[in-house]
Structure formats: structure tokens, C-alpha cells
Amino acid sequence: MLAGFSRRQLLTLIGMTAGSAAMYQAMTSLGLAVESGYKGRIKLEGDPKGASVLILGAGLAGMVAALELRQAGYKVQILEYNSRPGGRNWTLRGGDTYTELGGATQKCEFDEGLYINPGPWRIPYHHNGLLDYCKRLGVTLEPFQQLNHNAFLHSTEAFGGKPQRVRDIKIDFQGHVSELLAKVTQKGKLEGDVGKEDQEMLLEALRSWGALDKNYAYVKGLTSSEFRGFAKDPGGGLGAEPVPSDPIALTDILKSQLWGNLANFALYEFQTTMFQPVGGIDMIGKAFAKEVGDLITFNAKVTKIEQNDKGVMVTYEDVSKPGATQQASADWCICTIPLSILSQIDINVGAPMKAAIDAVPYVSSVKVGLQFKRRFWEEDDLIFGGVSYTNLPITQISYPSTGFNAGGKGVLLGCYTWGGPSSYELTSMAPEERVRKAVEYGSQIHPQYKDEFENGVSMAWHRSPFTLGCAGDWTEEARKEHYDNLCQIDGRIVLAGEHASYIPAWMEGAILSSLDAIDRLHKRVLKG
């Protein structure tokens, strides 16, 4: 390892400069990156002898459990708060309405075929459990574009507030760092860390990878322009000769802090190829519902969870007819209710599980979907999919990864915050004010916003009545103290969901948690 570099610093440098592939290889060699824990389709062998299971929540964790347990011979029933399946696996389309805490109701006015995913919206290629269920249930997938070299990196405090192409920051930073490392190598400063023969190969690698000239310098010229693009692209006929572009100075890149956003393309979670279901993320929830929809009681708000040595009894009320309560009972219970909600429900479990339920806060997140008269990001800026990042409160803009070059209207994810002051500030606003702010801020990156905007819809997850937050926000200390207690079978109750996983906020975490819970529960049932 290079002298003076910590492992984290080395990984950061590799990720910023070499890109996602090198970052992942380095993480793997250090034992820091692993694939999903999915071990293949679960086999619940043995006769449960008519045992019954009550599942609380028809999100992905709940429906995975229902699908597998029914096939294994269990009697299954699901109680779901919403009037639809999927939980956070959810898509908003034209005509849909949504009421958040406080009573504000939005009606989505998107044109037919356009949509926004308020919750999960992309699938990493290594989320093997989710991908297998998509294959099994016939959910058609298409590529999700995370990295687009032609998207923007933006800061109000850099380059006079003018957005910079991802390509320019990424390639120029990579080139300048390559030049610096080449100079250090040529001066023999790596003796003891890199052998002489390896130094020669390193120099050649840096020249190729960093677009350096014959003198190992990163400068304006055809070589660097083949990576960062030309001031005038090569053409045909007279006057077709390309004109090299001017690299951004290293000092300007460093001062801009825009290099910090490059990690969003290097992280293991976001490496290509990512996927999305054709037509919206809720195609996954709908596919599960085709298999287990007949088991679901919708509009069921759970108010009490009781158990004894013989079974579990759950009290609930119909959301559409509040007041009157009903009860459902079973031999066993799989509870997938978010901990932010479950912590407020009367549940008689042991002190360790109850302490775990109460220990996990939920992260704040806001999304805003914006419909525009035309796909100006493609027509004017040649941005086809991908994400632009900004230091403005909206944090990022994601361009649709479908319908490329077809013209017509389009919907952008015009804001996506994750924790921090911006999430709380936007959450405190009325839905229409969030939309207005997203247009106002976004116009600093795309001036076309104000002329092309038609309508929008917003989702603040801390105002969601069925989650009170976006996802479980574990700390390392909380995991050490509470995680195992959360996942234990407590009497006849076991919990599942993204919060009971090491992949919080991802659909894969919910699925793996559910598979683990039902496997352990099945073994307990067979023991009698």
C-alpha cells in the first residue's frame, strides 16, 4: 500500500479515478465487497401439518413469505394497511391520488404512460434474490442508466454556478491524477512499494488510462479529447477535422468539490448494469399479487398483536371504516410492519425484541416527479438517462431510462433527498410547494424547466402514514446491540423486512430477510 494512505483513502482514490470496476476489484481483494446473500430458491421440505401463518404487511417481504409458505402447505392470511399490494414498491401514474399525514391530497396528472417511483426505483445486478423472483414471476426488466458521462455535476459555488459535464470532471480529474502519479513514479518515489519492472508497466498503464501524452502529461490535444470530447467533433467532407478541447485545471476541479460526486458512480450498489421493470417498479408488487392477492385483506390497520403458547391474535380495523375492530388469528405470525409503525403498536414480545423495535429510527427522504412538455434533456443537452448531482437542496435529477429519442412529453425525478437538512426542510412544506421548489432549483441546471414544466407530484416519506419514514436507519452501535434480537423468533412471532437486513432500503434486503425468517420458522414448526 502507498505510504501515508489509509485503506479508505486508497479506495476513495481508486474509485474517483479508476472508476467502478477498479473500485470493486480493490474492495473484493480487501474483503469489503460481497454479492447478495441469496443462495438460490428456498426449499421448505417437510409437512407443516396444516399450520397457519398470519402475515402483517403485503410489501415484498410479506408476499415472498406468503408465496413460499403457501406452496409449502401452510394456511396463510395477509393483513395490509394500504388498498394495494407492494408497500414501498409503488408507482404513481396519472389519475392516482395519495394523501399524506396532515391530510394533503395530491392527484397525479401525468399523461398516460408516464410515471414516477416514489420508493425503490432501480435494481443492482448483484441483487440475485430479487432478480430471480422477477424471472420466476415474469417481470420484464430493462437497463437503468445510473452513470451518464454527459449528465451534469453542479455546484452553486463552483464555475460560476455553471453545470459541468460528468465526463469533463471525471476524465480531467483522472488525467491529472495520472500525470501526478506518473511524475512520482519517474522520480523513483515508489521504491519499496512498486518494483522497477512494475513501475515501467505502471507508467504505460497511466499513459493509456489517463490519456497522457508521450511525456506523461495531461494536456490539450487529440489524445485527451478522445476521452473528454472535442471542442469540435470530427465530421465528414470539407472542414471535418476535429478541434481538441481544453481540460479543466486540476486546481479548479479540486476547489469545486465536484469530484466528490464521482463516488456515486463507483459504489458497488450503483455499478452497471442496473435494472428497472418495464412500466414502473410496482410491476414487481403486482406480479407477486397475481400469486398471493387472494390471501390479502386490504385497508387493514393493525392496532394490537398478542400471542400465547398456542398462537397469535391480531386486532385490526378497516381504514375505510375506522372504529370497528376485527380480529385475525393463526398459529404463527410474520410481521413485516416498518419499525417506525410497529413501535407504536401494542405487541407482547420479550424485552430484547421490544427494545430492538424501538431502537431504529427511519431516514427522511423526499422525491419529486416533474412532467415536461418535451424531453429537452435529450433534445437540447443529449442526456439519455443517468443522474445529475447538485449541491442544491434537490440533491439530484434522474433522467428516464426509457423512451429514448422518441420525442413527446417526459417525467424527470426532479428531486431525491436522503437524510440531512434538505429532506427535513422539504418534508415540512406542502406538496405543491415541494414541486415549486424542485422547478425553481432545477432551472439552475436546466433553464428549460420554467418554460417546459407542466405538473408534478411529491412524496415526503416521513409523511407517509404506512411507514413514517423511508427505511431503517441503523447505526453500527445499534446493530451490535439490537440486530440479532430483532431477528430472533420471539415465541410465535418473527419479524422481516428491509429493516431486518444488512441491505436496508433495498428490495433485496426485504426479500433476503423474509427468506431467512420463513426458513427458521419452518424448522421451528417441524420440531413441533
Cβ atoms within 10 Å of 47's Cβ, excluding its own: 10
Lookup result for grid cell 437497463: 143
Residue 23: the pLDDT is 43
Residue 376: the pLDDT is 98
CATH of domain 52-87+287-359+474-527: 3.50.50.60
Residue 31: the pLDDT is 39
Cell digits of residue 230: 472535442
CB 155 within 8 A of CB 252: no
**Alpha-carbon dihedral 416, 422, 428, 433, rounded to 10 degrees:** -60
> Using the 8-state DSSP alphabet, how is residue 362 labeled?
B
What residues form DSSP beta bridges with 116? Answer: 92
Lookup result for grid cell 443529449: 382
Q: Which residues of the chain have pLDDT under 50?
A: 1-11, 14-34
Lookup result for grid cell 417441524: 526
Residue 22: the pLDDT is 41
H/E segment holding residue 396: strand 396-399
**Sign of the alpha-carbon dihedral angle for 142, 125, 267, 208:** negative
DSSP 473-513: ---HHHIIIIIHHHHS-BTTEEE-SGGGSSSTTSHHHHHHH
Cell digits of residue 41: 430458491
Per residue in 363-409, pLDDT (tens digit) is 999 999 999 999 999 999 999 999 999 999 999 999 999 999 999 99
Query: In angstroms, rounded to a whole number, what is the distance separating the alpha carbons of residues 381 and 166?
Result: 13
Alpha carbon 389 to its chain centroid, in Å, reads 15
Fold (topology level) of 92-150+273-280+363-463: Polyamine Oxidase; Chain A, domain 2 (3.90.660)
Query: In angstroms, rounded to a whole number, what is the distance separating the alpha carbons of residues 274 and 147?
Result: 10
Query: In angstroms, rounded to a whole number, what is the distance separating the alpha carbons of residues 263 and 7?
Result: 16
Residue 37: the pLDDT is 84
Per residue in 65-103, pLDDT (tens digit) is 999 999 999 999 999 999 999 999 999 999 999 999 999
Give the number of C-alpha atoms closer than 13 A to the C-alpha of residue 229, restricted to the C-beta side: 11
Residue 192: the pLDDT is 73
Cell digits of residue 489: 423468533
Residue 35: the pLDDT is 61
Give the contacts of 268 (CB within 8 A, at least 6 positions apart): 20, 23, 24, 27, 33, 124, 126
Q: Are strands 52-56 and 75-79 parallel, antiparallel or unpaired?
A: parallel
CB 412 within 8 A of CB 399: yes
Three-class SS state of 239: coil
Residue 301: the pLDDT is 98
CB 1 within 8 A of CB 26: no
Rounded to the nearest 10 degrees, the angle between the axes of helix 282-292 and helix 128-137 is 60
Residue 190: the pLDDT is 75
Sketch the domain layout of the chain as residue ranges: 1-31, 52-87+287-359+474-527, 92-150+273-280+363-463, 166-248
| 242 φψ region: left (φ > 0), alpha (ψ -120 to 50), beta (else) | beta
What's this model's pTM, rounded to 2 decimal places? 0.91
CA distances from 267 to 33, 256, 297, 413, 453 (A): 10, 21, 39, 21, 32
Convert 443-477 to b/e letters by CB count within 10 Å (16 or more is b).
ebbbebbeebbebbbbbbbbbbebbbbbbbbbeee
DSSP 256-287: H-GGGGGHHHHSGGGPSPEEEETT-THHHHHH
Residue 5: the pLDDT is 42
Residue of 134, 137, 213, 220 whose CA lies nearest to 179: 213
CATH of domain 166-248: 1.20.1440.240
